[in-house]
């Protein structure tokens, strides 16, 4: 049987391509939602970030746009295999 654990975290966007600290993220976690808070244009930012965590403790911003002024929520899903 396969189930998922989830992790919700809040972070500040980066200034361009590269890693941003995301405490608790593990390689292979699925990035299910990336959401912008605190603005009149709240909403999804999934296309700015990797879809699967590739570096433990980080999420990779894959777009060169400066998002450093944004508060961003991230929902990760972690597949767990049970027997």
Model pLDDT for residues 29-64, shown as the tens digit of each residue = 999 999 888 766 666 788 899 999 999 999 999 999
- For residue 52, what pLDDT is reported? 96
| Predicted model pTM | 0.85
Cα-Cα-Cα-Cα dihedral sign, residues 32, 25, 55, 44: positive
Residue 41 CB partners (closer than 8 Å, separation 6+): none
Look up tokens 């709240």; give the residue: 42
């Amino acid at each position: 049987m396969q189930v998922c654990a989830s992790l919700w975290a809040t972070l500040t966007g980066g200034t361009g391509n590269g890693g941003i600290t995301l405490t608790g993220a593990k390689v292979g976690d699925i990035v299910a939602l990336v959401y912008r808070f605190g603005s009149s244009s709240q909403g999804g930012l999934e296309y700015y970030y990797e879809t699967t965590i590739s570096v433990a403790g980080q999420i990779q911003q894959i777009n060169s746009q400066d998002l450093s002024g944004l508060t961003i929520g991230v929902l990760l899903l972690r597949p767990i295999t049970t027997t």
